[in-house]
Amino acid sequence: MLSYIIKGGKRLEGTISVSGSKNASLPIIAGTILSAKTTKLYHVPNIHDTQITLKILKLLGCKVKKERGKIVIDTKPMRKTEIPEDMMRQMRSTVVMAGAIISRFKEATFSYPGGCEIGARPIDLHLSAFRKLGIHVEEKGGFIHCTCDKIIGTEINLDFPSVGATENIILATVLAEGITTITNAAMEPEIEDLAKFLNKMGAKIEGAGTNLIKITGVKQLKEVSYKIMPDRIEAGTYLCMVAATGGKLKLLNTEPEHISPILNKLQECGCNIETQGKVINLEAPKKLKSIDIKTLPYPGFPTDMQSVFGSMLTIAKGTSVIVENIFENRYKYTQELQKMGAKIQIEGKMAVIKGVRKLNASKVDSHDLRGGAALVLAGLCTKGTTYVNNIEYILRGYENLEEKLQSIGASIKIKNN
Ligand code: UD1
């Protein structure tokens, strides 16, 4: 087990550069399967989740090379169409590889995906969309076998704007016969980035970033180089970490427009924020103000920032109320914060956080990626030594977290227990 040892209570100040987006990299790496050619990707973050995705590609027969600043993926030699079960269990987003594999090989086998423990995460929307596209889906013994003669474009209306299902449908239909439309599509910036990448390859995707996406099937795709968008959740995490210590941060390589709901909430908390092109400057007050938050699909407040804000608000002035509308079990981190003296009450979807003057350093356990980041935030703003255990979850999604935090004055080290 790996842990972070954090000696907190220091005001953080400095400059951090945001890495490429985890959630954009994963479907884009899957998208390289479609071309059966070589793709060069820049700004893929070096984190556990991208490493697993690239490992799957290698197991399926692709050639993957890491060169300075880029990853070169040759999917031509790929022959296998079964995603190994142990890989599926490690990471939920491996499911988006299915759409790309079926599209190219007319068959794919995979199992139910795993990932963070943040509640039931079914894939019914993915599978029902596949069926609508003429794919035969058979679920047997925990495995899902998909086969088809061809994929035929159709109209798909999603019951919920699922990010993964929207990406999977796009990947499955870029090379399909005819036109596919997705209504009530997810509008997250990572979907726009996937569409930009695929369109650069020669795909014809219109409307990505809106709730109506139209995909006109093309015959083949070409070799491209592509730079992944900045990680908006990583950006939000560092802004909150610095805000919680009353500090000052210059954040480089950001897309401020993608994180406007996060910036608005930080301003409500009393932070002074200025944006200039791809740079965000934040200056926090000594004491943050309490705020209310409701998580919603994009462009609403992102569920992935809920825990990080929740942790920051434990030391704000007054009472904050959070409503988590996307995932059903995303409050596990609050039990850990309670060990540090936080006053949080959970009632169903709602968390009521009564700000305290300070938290007490303690030993806490991560249960998921963003919940883990929330505990690091708590450690950073708390005097004394906080031990955050099971940081394997955090390493899934944050590139060089401890180096980045050290560079702005934090005392944080990894310990192998
Ligand atoms: C993606 C992000 C994740 C983020 C989430 C919501 C990646 C790799 N992960 O996850 O960080 O928290 O979007 O912004 O991009 N659902 C169903 N049936 C389905 C699919 C989803 O009921 O077939 C439900 C889920 O259980 C959940 C909600 O829809 O309650 C949102 O899920 P979805 O948008 O699909 O999230 P992911 O793509 O898994």
Q: pLDDT tens digits, residue range 234-258?
A: 999 999 999 999 999 999 999 999 9
3-state secondary structure of 354: strand
CA-based nearest residue to 378, from 330, 410, 416:
410
Q: State the amino acid at position 329 in one-letter form.
A: N
CA 330 to chain centroid? 14
Q: Which residues contact residue 272 at a Cβ distance below 8 angstroms, ignoring those fewer than 6 apart?
A: 282, 283, 284
Burial of 41 (0-12, 13-18, 19+ CB in 10 A): buried
DSSP secondary structure string for all residues of 58-122: HHTT-EEEEETTEEEEE-TT----B--HHHHHH-GGGGHHHHHHHHHHSEEEEE-----SSS---
Q: Whose CA is nearest to atom 13 of ligand 1?
A: 163
Q: Where in the chain is the domain with CATH 3.65.10.10?
A: 2-19+230-416, 22-227
CA-to-CA dists, residue 216 to 196, 204, 210, 241, 248, angstroms: 14, 5, 16, 43, 47
* Ligand 1: centre distance to CA 413 (Å): 32
CA of residue 214 to ligand 1 center, whole Å: 21
At 268, list the tokens.
């409500």
Nearest atom in ligand 1 to the alpha carbon of residue 160 is: 29
Q: What is the pTM of this model?
A: 0.96
User: 188: CA distance to ligand 1 center in Å?
Assistant: 11
Helices 369-380 and 332-339 cross at an angle (nearest 10°) of 20
The ligand 1 atom nearest the CA atom of 164:
38
Q: Is 415 strand, coil or helix?
A: strand
The pairing of strands 224-227 and 38-42 is: parallel
On whether the 22-227 domain is CATH 1.10.510.10, my answer is no
pLDDT by residue, tens only, the chain of 417 residues: 999 999 999 999 999 999 999 999 999 999 999 999 999 999 999 999 999 999 999 999 999 999 988 999 999 999 999 998 888 888 878 899 999 999 999 999 998 876 545 555 689 999 999 999 999 999 888 789 999 999 999 999 999 999 999 999 999 999 999 999 999 999 999 999 999 999 999 999 999 999 999 999 999 999 999 999 999 999 999 999 999 999 999 999 999 999 999 999 999 999 999 999 999 999 999 999 999 999 999 999 999 999 999 999 999 999 999 999 999 889 999 999 999 999 999 999 999 999 999 999 999 999 999 999 999 999 999 999 999 999 999 999 999 999 999 999 999 999 998
pLDDT for residue 111: 86
Q: How far apart are CA 66 and CA 69, in angstroms?
A: 8
Ligand 1 near 23 CB (within 6 A): yes
Asked if 381 is an active-site residue, the reply is no
Query: Using one digit for the tens of pLDDT, what is the confidence trace for 90-110?
Result: 887 889 999 999 999 999 999
Total number of residues shown for the chain: 417
Task: Please work out whether the CB of residue 53 comes within 6 Å of at least one atom of ligand 1.
Answer: no
According to the CATH classification, is domain 2-19+230-416 in 3.65.10.10? yes
